[in-house]
Structure 1
Amino acid sequence: MGLFRLFYPWGNHLGYALRNAFLFSLILNEGPNWEADAGFMDWLSLTELSDRSANFDQLIGQTPAIDRFCSTLAWTVPASKAMMVDPQPLITQSEHGFVSMMRVPVANGIRLATPLEIGWGLAAPFAGENPTALVRQLGVMWAERTQDIDGLLVSGIPATGVWIRPLMKRFVDTERIGLGETCVRRMASLTGGLDGFMSRRSSKFRANLRRAERAGSSDGLVYEFHSQDEGGHLFQRILDIERDSWKGRAGEGFDQPPSDEFYQRMALRLERAGRLRVVMITRDGEDLAFVLGGVFQSLYRGLQMSYREGHRHLSLGNLGQLEMIRRLIDEGIDTYDLGTEMPYKLSWAETSFTTQMFVIMRH
């Protein structure tokens, strides 16, 4: 897997430390039958889950303290199909919502249940507004498939807040709990329109962007905005630019498998839901750059952007993002999620959202 760093050993001392550091006063003395009120569960295949995508995503929109975009099926199903070899779904639906995971073999024959997207650790496995009920549902799932699962990876939830009490309450006394990687996303507010966004940027940033806009206008740059991709033609234009970018030329672009399949599957799902957002920059009919992303509720999630090698002086990445922001503000989007932490994003964002991966293993 290589994704997560475990504080080894996972044993009782870590569970004890977690419990006594900030949870001891919250854990109540309930009996051992945590699953008693989890309710009836329906086991689903990945296809059956996809068929219920409207209901699922509606519940994601009500789920507290998660990365909602990266927990929707537009992100998780493409990830499971493109990034994993023969994923074994472990998905249930109850009156409280969904818990969507898959079984993944790791080193030494260990079999873990993980969210449907585990490569970045951004997705949460839960969809529903009641954390306690959904964690209990996860416990029932493990109990019913105990012969097939040696442990759980639960990603996409903050290290403090509404998920920690039920998670610790259910597992801390019966399993070993370790910490995996922390995932930080950079976020920018779009409230106050473009003037509000720019007021939260540095004076140097604003000056450089104005200079790039003037140069781009003089150079004949043309901006296109798309929310549809009939026949996949738009995505092919995007891939052509990616192949000619510095990343593509180095063999490190997302035009390479399995990333190309992941993004193409996701773009198709976003388009079908009316959530795809793309800016293309052209000059004299030639595609030079793109910005690819999607929306969920009032949030825009940036996915990829790139430009053809040899055009760095035009600041096409910055100009594409600025044009996207203008369009998003016009449709009422109030938050720009730039994705996982990278140095350049600090200039564009003023806040962050952080989640923790939890590793839960049997004693």
Structure 2
Amino acid sequence: MPFLPLTDGPSGAGRTAEAQALADVLPLWEQLAATTGQADPFCCAPAWQLTFRDTVTPGKKLFFHTEPGGLAVFTEVLAEGQRVFLAPPENGWLFGCPLLGPAAGDALAASLAAFDAAYPHAVPHLIISGIRPRGPLAAMLLHRFGEAYAFFRHGSSVQCAASLAGGLDGYLSRRSANHRAKLKKAARKAEAAGVSFTREHPATPGEAEALYARMQAVEARSWKGLAQCGMGEAPAREFYALLVQRLAQEGKLRAIMAQRDGRDIGFIFGGLCGGGICGATYRGQQFSYAAEEQKLSLGNLLQLETLKWLCEEGAFRYDMGPVTGPRMEYKRHWTEENHEIQTWLMVKKP
């Protein structure tokens, strides 16, 4: 597919054709995100990337180019004087990669030529995230483009994950004895207190909206909601609202609510990437619980209930996102894989 800039301009035949071209790319985009050894497959996929663009940076140009087995996708985040910054559509957390597949180099080369034509009086600065520093993409970028372009490290993080090989029993066998004992004790305590867990399957936009409203009601009573630092605040509120809608529509939402005495007291949700013969990766998004129920260990139990569900479905990996920082240390009890990712700035040499 030729290089195509997609804009949020007036409707019409051209706009319809552009939107259809993007829709045609989505299956390849999803497939490459799921099957090319990404550190965070879900965050490379269109649901995550386009949700950020639609809610956090609406109206920005989107550029994409496909080759057989390759994709490059960027959005314009800043055009100022002689500099234009082009970044992945999700350019806040920078978890995903805008270059996917064995032919990503060909897709990038075509995109660079198109950028030169689109910005004849400016030098595009490309932000490329989700790079595994010792992976094939990093090697390809330096080998193929290092003569004409300079690369600067722009940031890094560590993503954590766990294998679901062997189902729930296999997963638990790879946790510490202390962690397993705590989970059993918490489960008995919650059951005695009358806590129940329900798997949610919203099938319509209205049902997804109602489920998200229930989550937000719990969030408002959580420590994050009380401190006004959770997903009840903009732009996270709008971002996750649309993400829940997208995942529900695609059948990839996995959400669980915790109740006690007929009242919601906790939730957890995330999404799947991939599936079929290759299996699916699950990426956790948010979980929360009412502050007054803190003694029930709902965070741990919601994670456990999610793992039960995923293992029943045959998912093969449980991704929990970044593990950097003291607030993320709890994830180490649940995971055993760490994947470093870097963000590079790519600039044409004088």
TM-score, normalization by structure 1: 0.84
The residue that corresponds to 2:226 in the other structure is 249
Q: 1:60·1:127 contact (CA, 8 Å) conserved in 2?
A: yes
2:336 aligned residue (330, 333, 350): 350
CA 1:49/1:209 → structure 2, altered by over 3 Å: closer, same or farther?
Answer: farther
* CA-CA distance at 1:64 after TM superposition: 4.1
Q: Secondary structure at the match of 1:223?
A: strand
The residue that corresponds to 1:43 in the other structure is 4
1:294 aligned residue (246, 259, 271): 271
The residue that corresponds to 1:196 in the other structure is 170
Q: Secondary structure at the match of 1:122?
A: coil
The residue that corresponds to 1:175 in the other structure is 149
The separation in 1 between residues aligned to 2:320 and 2:127, in whole angstroms, is 25
The separation in 1 between residues aligned to 2:184 and 2:230, in whole angstroms, is 29
2:306 aligned residue (303, 312, 324): 324
Q: Secondary structure at the match of 2:140?
A: helix
1:75 aligned residue (48, 52, 65): 48
The residue that corresponds to 2:12 in the other structure is none
Q: Secondary structure at the match of 1:322?
A: helix
2:97 aligned residue (124, 130, 135): 124
Query: Percent identity among equivalent residues?
Result: 30
Q: Does 1:221 align with 2:203?
A: no
* CA-CA distance at 1:245 after TM superposition: 0.8
1:258-306 CA-partner distances (Å, limit 9, x unpaired): 1111111111111111100001100111000001101112211000000
The residue that corresponds to 2:320 in the other structure is 338
Q: 1:103·1:149 contact (CA, 8 Å) conserved in 2?
A: no
Give the letter aligned to residue 201 of structure 1. Answer: R
Q: 1:66·1:124 contact (CA, 8 Å) conserved in 2?
A: no
1:263 aligned residue (232, 240, 247): 240
* CA-CA distance at 1:309 after TM superposition: 1.2
Q: 1:186·1:340 contact (CA, 8 Å) conserved in 2?
A: yes
* CA-CA distance at 1:240 after TM superposition: 0.9
The count of residues paired between Structure 1 and Structure 2 equals 324
* CA-CA distance at 1:49 after TM superposition: 5.5
The residue that corresponds to 1:139 in the other structure is 112
Give the letter aligned to residue 41 of structure 1. Answer: P
* CA-CA distance at 1:87 after TM superposition: 1.6
The structure that is helix-richer by fraction is 2
CA 1:151/1:44 → structure 2, altered by over 3 Å: closer, same or farther?
Answer: closer
1:200-256 CA-partner distances (Å, limit 9, x unpaired): 111211111111001001000111002325311111101111111111111111111
- Tell me, which stretches of 5 or more residues in structure 1 are unaligned? 1-39
Question: What are the within-5 Å matches in structure 2 for residues 300-315 of structure 1?
Answer: 300-315=282-297
Q: Secondary structure at the match of 2:291?
A: coil
* CA-CA distance at 1:357 after TM superposition: 0.7
The separation in 1 between residues aligned to 2:89 and 2:338, in whole angstroms, is 24
CA 1:49/1:182 → structure 2, altered by over 3 Å: closer, same or farther?
Answer: farther
Q: Does 1:112 align with 2:89?
A: no
The separation in 1 between residues aligned to 2:179 and 2:128, in whole angstroms, is 38
Give the letter aligned to residue 51 of structure 1. Answer: A
The separation in 1 between residues aligned to 2:310 and 2:60, in whole angstroms, is 35
Q: 1:136·1:170 contact (CA, 8 Å) conserved in 2?
A: no
